Amino acid sequence: MATQLHARVHELTRREAVELLQFHGYVGRIGFVVDGRPLILPVNYLADDDSIVFCTGPGTKLSAIGGGASVVFEVDDSRALEHSGWSVVVKGTAHEIIDEGQLDELRRGPLHSWATRSSEHWVRLSIEEVTGRRLHGS
């Protein structure tokens, strides 16, 4: 039984995992530590080969991570009736985007937070490590 279960799980290559980040999910969850306690929050995001960007309102818990915090980011998709899905996990460092040229480009781009109207505070998460798995249905 363990061999059969193992065969249903496929470890993704970096390229496969990054492609899923870029083209198959636009809401992910970012995990970080606030006041010594772990916290996970959903964010709307965009990804390229090396980083993930998202915006948040000033003064939120998410705005506190832009100073070089170590974070984890997860995005997934599942098909309950098929018993299949995939998951991608990124480990990296978050930095506030302060370059006015980059900010102007991001503000005019397609990414808009569902949670806040503010587009003042942008964060870039470096993709330092990325792993992923795909579970094939039974």
pLDDT tens digits for 66-111?
678 899 999 998 887 777 899 999 999 999 888 998 888 888 777 7
- Rounded to two decimals, the pTM is 0.82
The lowest-confidence range among 34-43, 73-82, 116-125 is 116-125
Query: Closest Cα to residue 55, out of 106, 102, 127?
Result: 106
Q: Are strands 129-135 and 121-126 parallel, antiparallel or unpaired?
A: unpaired
Mean pLDDT, to the nearest integer, of 47-70? 81
Q: Say if CB 82 and CB 116 are below 8 A apart.
A: no
Say if domain 2-135 classifies as CATH 2.30.110.10: yes
